[in-house]
Amino acid sequence: MHQPGLTVYGHPRCPQVIPVRQFLDRAAVPYTYINIRDDAAARSRVMALNAGNKTVPTLVFADGTILREPHVWQVHAQLGAAGVHVPSFVAFSIQHSLMIVLVAFLLMGMVAGKVLGSAVLGSVVGLIVGLLVNARRIRRAGS
């Protein structure tokens, strides 16, 4: 069986891990995901790679390149340097989906606030609803 040349160290409660994994999944890039919460040896390896810190996501490529807490575009660029073509729209859609959801809920809350007579109250309601929706996404992605 072919072993993927990319290892992603993460933690299910880290919100930065989710877009990286979604990007790799949508781009059909094979990788091994290791949860450092459940694997003490992996946690030690991540700490050794990151000057004693449990920095996640930490991506280790086959050529030894390490990306720490990378932006989706950094992963996209590194894959391109390794000869793996991933369409840019995949990275764009992952990177901006969370922002779009938060802004949409914020705007919905503001509209609700106008109806209720308080834009501040509506904004807070929209932000809370957006955070709850994204907390649910984080829990689902971490499992």
Give the model confidence (pLDDT) of 34-67 as tens digits.
Answer: 999 999 999 999 999 999 999 999 999 999 999 9
State the alpha helices, DSSP H only, in the chain. Answer: 17-26, 40-49, 72-81, 88-116, 119-142
* CA 58 vs CA 74, 79, 94, 125, 131: distances in Å: 12, 15, 18, 34, 25
Q: Which residues of 105-120 are buried (b: 16+ CB within 10 A; e: fewer)?
A: bbebbbebbeeeeeee
Give the whole-number percent of the chain exceeding pLDDT 70. Answer: 62
Highest mean pLDDT, choosing among 56-60, 78-82, 100-104, 128-132: 56-60
Bond before 57 cis per omega within 30 degrees: yes
CB-count burial class (<10 Å; 0-12, 13-18, 19+) for 48: exposed
Q: How many CB atoms lie within 10 A of CB 20?
A: 25
Q: pTM of the prediction? A: 0.64
Q: How many CB atoms lie within 10 A of CB 19?
A: 21
How many CA atoms lie less than 13 Å away from 50 in the CB half-sphere? 19
